[in-house]
Amino acid sequence: MDVVQQYTYGSLVAYARDRKQHKNCQYTSSTRSGGSFSQTENFEEAMGYAINGWDLALEQYKIEDGTLVGGITKLTPSLAGCLPHVQNHIMGFPEEMYNLYDNREYNLPTLDIVVNLAYNCGIESQDALDFGKSIVNYINTMASNYNIRLTGIFGQRLDNHNMYDLVTLKDFDNALVINNIAFAFHPSFFRRLWFAVFEGKEQWEEGYGHPIRDTRKIAREYLGGGKSDKTVYFKNLADIERYKFEPDNIEYFTETF
């Protein structure tokens, strides 16, 4: 039996932050201090990245008030919006919020990008960080030519069933805000936030299950399979010895369906 749940980036972060530990959960690995793989000292640090953004320090991105946006996404001060304008608030200006809009052509062909967000035991944290940076670079490259939806999947094999969590990191026609996208590939998003989500579920099992590498069947079923003009599925990091995207080797790291 498969158990499938769907989240937005924001709803998954909120659930990880606010969830009550399920009575079936005997301990919480998400809150254990330290850990070389997670790249964060504690759950609070990881949650700070999730909410405030993780600076990838990539030259092709610009930072305004701590908000990391792709090159085609513009921020405009306004009276109402989706992000706070910190400087205007401090200075007492009325435009205390930002609106986002994409400076691109519309009616572009649609592109589904699907990425497995779970990391297998044995993956080095630096490889995970490189993996995330490479995917963000790819998304930013494709955004000017496609209307993109980005979906992350956590798949785990448990004793009696499989469990899948699908996370919409960017939907069609939404502005490309790199904060949300970038941290989703950080080791702590998996090791702390997603572990926290699982610790609130009745399906909790000691060991947290085994990551499922091939989630294409679930992706096809729940994303409407073939409805986009193109779908790109990134191979699991565990299936690739070293991961770094370059324009001439993207076919090695992805599959199209």
8 Å CB contact between 6 and 224: no
HEC-encoded secondary structure of 133-192: HHHHHHHHHHCCCCEEEEEEEEEEECCCCEEEEEEEEECCCCCCEHHHHHHHCCHHHHHH
Residue identified by tokens 């301990």 is: 27
Q: What DSSP state is assigned to residue 194?
A: I
116 phi/psi in degrees, rounded to 5: -80, 120
246 phi/psi in degrees, rounded to 5: -130, 150
| Structure token pair of residue 188 | 């702590």
pLDDT of residue 167: 94
- Composition of the chain by helix, strand, coil, percent to 5: 30, 25, 45
Per-10-residue mean pLDDT of the chain, 257 residues long, equals 89 94 91 74 87 55 46 61 62 67 70 86 74 77 86 89 91 76 84 92 86 84 79 76 53 59
pLDDT of residue 105: 58
Confidence (pTM): 0.76
pLDDT of residue 11: 93
Please give the C-alpha separations between residue 247 and each of 134, 139, 159, 251, in angstroms, as whole numbers.
10, 12, 41, 9
